[in-house]
Amino acid sequence: MGKQGLSLGRDDIVQLKEAYKWITHPLFSEELGVPVDGKSLFEVSVIFAHPETDEDCHFLSTSCPDCFKPAKNKQSVFTRMAVVKALDKIKEEDFRKKFPCPPNSPKSFCSAVEIECAHGAVFVAGRYNKYSRNLPQTPWIIDGERKLESSVEELISSQLLTVFKAESFNFSSSGREDVDVRTLGNGRPFAVELVNPRRVQFTSRDIKELQQKINISSDKIQVRDLQLVTREAIGHMKEGEEVKTKTYSALVWTDKAIQKKDIEFLDDLKDLQINQKTPLRVLHRRPLAIRTRIIHTMETHYIDEHHFRLHLKTQAGTYIKEFVHGDFGRTKPNIGSLMDGTADILELDVESVDVDWPPALND
């Protein structure tokens, strides 16, 4: 091209897919009776085949062998990205030697072999309460064997999947509770990504009815503040993981007989700093480390000689069970060491997750 006096930059060359859009968009608009929106979440994917020119780019593999590496989910190494990468690396004179410029006119038409319609993901958020001490947050499967019949994730997402007519979903939340821990108060924030939904138009009334449907389906969970959100908004749920606070209620047992006065000193401890080595019970899925956490406040309620209720406000990420029983000395200090005895936790409830998202809705 240089010899012909043409100086074209990358931005001057129109990609074939863009030219195809220019031709087809007006046709789609006229046929369907709707305007074309280039930023729409609804996508139509068309795959063309043209056997005559299938091997036109194969010469690039000798110029850039590193660009064309087999991938498990790709039928051919000559993907669009690989070809673009190779074209960036090949010299113009080498390209001209291997490929005619301008290219030869094709003798046959291409054919559309696959047309697929898909919709971009839709996101639903809310807060859930968990009232069962025998329900995991996500499916509990060990070595391919399901341990419990359901989970918070499934009880919520199965209803959404059906109503939105989506292919699949991805569940996320602001932290998680153990299978035997209840989540009370205003609940725990969660979000569900619904992949390729067939239905996307919902009124606020529709969403409210969907929330009621979820709540009627099980007595183990309840959902509130259910609403449609954007992908970007979900970032608010994950913001401040280390600075947000959580409030808990624990039923504590002590080996020594106690009186009310024996536990009152705990009420006076403020912003207690503790060091927690990764608990034994999660060591199989968490790296070994020592994490410093803050117990902001504690409030005790005496029950009897061996039991008291402990309300705690802590830094997010604190292992509450281990703070009570000490985890064989891996959490220091702990309730047992502070009381100069042995303590254990019998019940634990999450009373609040202090994340101001998603926005509360009026019933």
SS3 sequence, 109-134? CCEEEEEEEEECCEEEEEEEEECCCC
Residue with the bigger pLDDT between 36 and 301: it is 301
Tokens of 307: 């039991």
> Would you say how long the chain is, in residues?
363
Q: Which amino acid is residue 179, in one-letter code?
A: V
On the question of pLDDT at 344 being above 50, the answer is yes
On the question of pLDDT at 25 being above 70, the answer is yes
- Largest Cα–Cα distance of the chain, in whole Å? 97
| Residue 13 shares a structural domain with residue 100 | yes
* Average pLDDT rounded to a whole number, residues 156-185: 96
Output the CA–CA distances (angstroms, integers) from residue 309 to 189, 253, 302, 346, in the order listed: 26, 9, 6, 10
Q: Which amino acid is residue 126, in one-letter code?
A: G
Q: Which of 86, 119, 152 is the endpoint of a domain?
A: 119
255 catalytic residue (yes or no) = no
Q: What is the pLDDT of residue 252?
A: 98
Name the pTM for this structure.
0.80
Q: Which amino acid is residue 67, in one-letter code?
A: C
What are the φ and ψ backbone dihedral angles of 9, each rounded to 5 degrees? -90, 170
Tell me which range, 94-108, 133-147, 270-284, is most confidently predicted by mean pLDDT.
270-284
On the question of pLDDT at 10 being above 70, the answer is no
On the question of pLDDT at 34 being above 90, the answer is no
| Residue 44 shares a structural domain with residue 105 | yes
Q: What is the pLDDT of residue 9?
A: 66
| Residue 22 shares a structural domain with residue 94 | yes
Residue with the bigger pLDDT between 13 and 90: it is 90
Residues 50-100 pLDDT 10s: 999 888 888 888 888 888 888 776 778 888 888 888 888 888 888 888 888
Establish if 209 belongs to a structural domain: yes
* Nearest alpha carbon to residue 163 among 192, 132, 138: 192
The domain of 317 spans 245-353
From the list 56, 94, 178, 354, the catalytic residue is: 178
pLDDT band at 134 (very low <50, low <70, confident <90, very high): very high
C-beta of residue 312 within 8 angstroms of C-beta of residue 320: yes
Residue 31 is classified by DSSP as H
- Average pLDDT over the chain, rounded to an integer: 91
| Residue 183 shares a structural domain with residue 271 | no
Strand (E) positions, the chain? Answer: 42-49, 111-119, 122-130, 141-142, 145-146, 168-173, 182-195, 221-229, 245-254, 272-277, 290-304, 307-315, 331-332, 343-353
Whole-number percent of the chain with pLDDT over 90: 62
Q: What is the pLDDT of residue 363?
A: 67
CATH number of the structural domain spanning residue 250: 3.30.70.3190
| Residue 276 shares a structural domain with residue 186 | no
pLDDT band at 127 (very low <50, low <70, confident <90, very high): very high
Establish if 75 belongs to a structural domain: yes
* Average pLDDT rounded to a whole number, residues 236-250: 82
* Nearest alpha carbon to residue 208 among 345, 101, 363: 363
**Within the chain, where are the H helices?**
16-32, 60-63, 80-89, 92-98, 152-164, 204-217, 235-238, 320-325, 335-338
Q: What is the pLDDT of residue 1?
A: 44
Q: What is the pLDDT of residue 39?
A: 81
C-beta of residue 206 within 8 angstroms of C-beta of residue 199: no
How many domains, in total, are found in the chain?
3
| Residue 108 shares a structural domain with residue 130 | no
| Residue 111 shares a structural domain with residue 200 | no
Establish if 363 belongs to a structural domain: no
| Residue 59 shares a structural domain with residue 36 | yes
In sequence order, the 6+-apart residues with CB closer than 8 A to the CB of 80 are none
